[in-house]
Amino acid sequence: MASVTPGVKQRVEQLRKNIQAASYAYYVLDAPTMEDAVYDRLYRELQDLENQYPELITPDSPTQRVGEKPASGFNSVRHNIPLYSLENAFNIAEFTKWQERWQRVSGSGEVSPDTPLYICELKIDGNAIALTYENGILVRGTTRGDGISGEDITQNVRTIRSIPLRLNLETPPKLVEVRGEAFLALDVFQQINQERQQAGETQFANPRNAAAGTLRQLDSKVVAKRRLDFFAYTLQIPGKDDVEVAQTQWEALELLQKMGFRVNPNRVLCKSLEDVQAYYDEWNTGRLNLPYMTDGVVVKINSFKLQEQLGFTQKFPRWAVALKYPAEEAPTRVENIIVNVGRTGALTPLAHLHPVELAGTTVQRATLHNSDRIAQLDIRIGDTVIVRKAGEIIPEVVRVLPELRPEGTQPFYIPSHCPVCNQPVIKPANEAVTRCVNASCPAILKGALEHWVSRDALDINGMGEKLVHQLLDKGVVHSVADLYDLTVEKLSALDRMGTKLAQKLVDAIAHSKTQPWSRVLYGLGIRHVGSTNAQLLTDKFSSVEQLAAATTPQIESLYGIGFEIANAVNQWFKVPANQSLIERLRAAGLQLASQEKPQQQTGKLSLAGKTFVVTGTLPTLKRDEAKDLIQKAGGKMTNSVSAKTDYLVVGEDAGSKLDKAQELGVKQLSEADLLAMLQ
């Protein structure tokens, strides 16, 4: 191997400097200083020299943005500085209340009229990232996670060209922490979805989901190809190291830009609430012309001194708030109305719409909920309607514009017979939902099978939706019990099913027989019985015989189980077909009783005697994982909030349970709070 000469080393350093400067001008300043062909030639020369002299390769080299090998997974790492979420305000009135709160905490609302009080920045709809630089070199990039810990995605972060691998400072501090938002530009997002559609792959729902999925790709070459972008918005220099640092958020953004980061240019200093409102109103319409998604405005107190004085609550900084925009609405046309049948037999009307762009995604369907909602809207095929993303996730029809209704349209009614099996449907007097009650209905059976094999139920690996459909279409199975009669020979006769795959499925089905009684009960799909209720029921009734023999009052006496659940369970076990199903499952070897486990508690039950409810989407834990952790620590889980509830664990998009908890004064916990209690 040739030795490195001073001339070669100097050339490598010069190439890196030229390429870094060109990347900064192109990706951050949007002012290219070099032709693409020249950039490519210099990049190739650097690549060739590093291949020839691998000892010259450094982590901050531009060639290291794309890893040579896919990552094997992501490690969880603790953030040097926690990443707090922001409190939300959905209108100026709520913002005013936030302002009054921080002024009370600070002890004074008096600020010089000539001093900019706030800085307003656009809230980029992406994924928060934490970056760590040591002596000016990027050493770590992590996801936000729960704010305390995140996933180490350094290899993928290196592919984002608006993130410098080396800070643009002659004498950088020993340690620099940068926070910002990774996102996908709208045109890039659309291109990715077009490519996925052509490849027969599922399209991403929106740019934020696409960015999140991209960041967690195990192959950084895929990440690089998707062209993620990044805006930096927070800078922290622990210890300061005698470096001149910013005194305000505005100065911090200026310093970030000097360091080589891309900073959103649409920021402004505001002296008053009126200035904030003007900025908010301006971008309510202006954001529609941006090349990326934004869902609100982040308002921060500009002075770092005042920020430090105000500090944090358990979940939020007191000195910042996210002023969110209302859910986006758009007009479109109803091209058809169909009725779907779910696993419980519920008939759900669905509007098929002329495609419309809504909150960055193309919407073609919207739920109409039930017959009462249809009557309330008086919606008809051909109507022009206003569609909104409920919670910015689920499309729904807000209202009909009858003045644009074509002539000759007819009112829509829920059919009197099931659209799948053609049997009569019923609508109980006390319910809004119309149901098919034919237990042999293919739609009900399909839903029952999909539920039975799902992860939270019997967790039969490899038994996906397509295979369930094929088993039904071929007439191979007619109930969940038939799954346990499947053999390699039967499965091998199906389309695209080899002997090896068939054997894996048979093994997975056999393994499901070891799932506990609580999962079997949940898998049966009894109305109102979720995974938590199933656990409560099986804790009390340790066998299927005990539960089947229990009366409605006996079941209802269990804390956390109401009449509706108790009655549904009692009635289910009275149906002869269900009794036959239980006998077949017993014969197949399913667990229909709790297994006695020796009490070998190695640590203290830190949550013993406490009752918990979980609501919303947690940052890192799935809801069943949180419940499992609570129960293992001796805590009790219920589905509904009451005066007996000790804690409500709150995630994003929390609903009525949070309102009830606030009304009753139930203590609220974040995921980070819960994990701290478990330590």
Alpha-carbon separation of residue 60 from 9, 12, 163, 166, 177 (angstroms): 15, 12, 11, 6, 17
Q: Catalytic residue among 17, 69, 97, 123, which?
A: 123
CA angle (276, 278, 282) in 5-degree steps: 120
Contact 230, 182 (CB under 8 A): yes
Q: Is 270 annotated to bind ligand?
A: no
Least Cα distance to 85 among 344, 335, 312, 385 occurs for 312
DSSP 197-264: HHTTPPPPSSHHHHHHHHHT-S-HHHHHHTT-EEEEEEEE-TT-TT----SBHHHHHHHHHHHT----
Half-sphere exposure of 339 (CA within 13 A, CB side): 23
Phi-psi domain of 237 (left: phi exceeds 0; alpha: psi -120 through 50; beta: other)? beta
Alpha-carbon separation of residue 30 from 23, 111, 262, 605, 671 (angstroms): 10, 37, 10, 57, 40
Q: Is 421 annotated to bind ligand?
A: yes
Q: Is 643 annotated to bind ligand?
A: no
What are the two backbone dihedrals, phi and then psi, of residue 127, each rounded to the nearest 5 degrees?
-130, 125
- Exposed / middle / buried, residue 674 (Cβ in 10 Å: 0-12, 13-18, 19+): buried
599 three-class SS: coil
Q: Is 85 annotated to bind ligand?
A: yes
Task: Say how far apart CA 298 and CA 387 lie, in whole Å.
Answer: 26
Q: What's the token pair of residue 139?
A: 């050493």
512 three-class SS: helix
Q: Is 436 annotated to bind ligand?
A: yes
Q: Is 121 annotated to bind ligand?
A: yes
Terminus-to-terminus CA distance in the chain, angstroms?
53
Contact 536, 561 (CB under 8 A): yes
298 three-class SS: strand
CA pseudo-torsion sign 519, 520, 525, 526: negative
Q: Is 36 annotated to bind ligand?
A: yes
- Exposed / middle / buried, residue 490 (Cβ in 10 Å: 0-12, 13-18, 19+): middle
The separation between CA 293 and the C-alpha centre of its own chain, rounded to angstroms, equals 16
Residues contacting 651, CB < 8 A, separation 6+ = 614, 615, 616, 617, 618, 619, 671
What are the two backbone dihedrals, phi and then psi, of residue 630, each rounded to the nearest 5 degrees?
-65, -45
Residues in the chain: 679
Catalytic residue list contains 604: no
Task: Say how far apart CA 58 and CA 60 lie, in whole Å.
Answer: 5
Q: Is 267 annotated to bind ligand?
A: no
Q: Is 39 annotated to bind ligand?
A: yes
Contact 122, 298 (CB under 8 A): yes
Bind-site residues = 36-40, 85-86, 121, 144, 181, 300, 324, 418, 421, 436, 441
Bind-site residues for Zn(2+) = 418, 421, 436, 441
Bind-site residues for NAD(+) = 36-40, 85-86, 121, 144, 181, 300, 324
Catalytic residues: 123
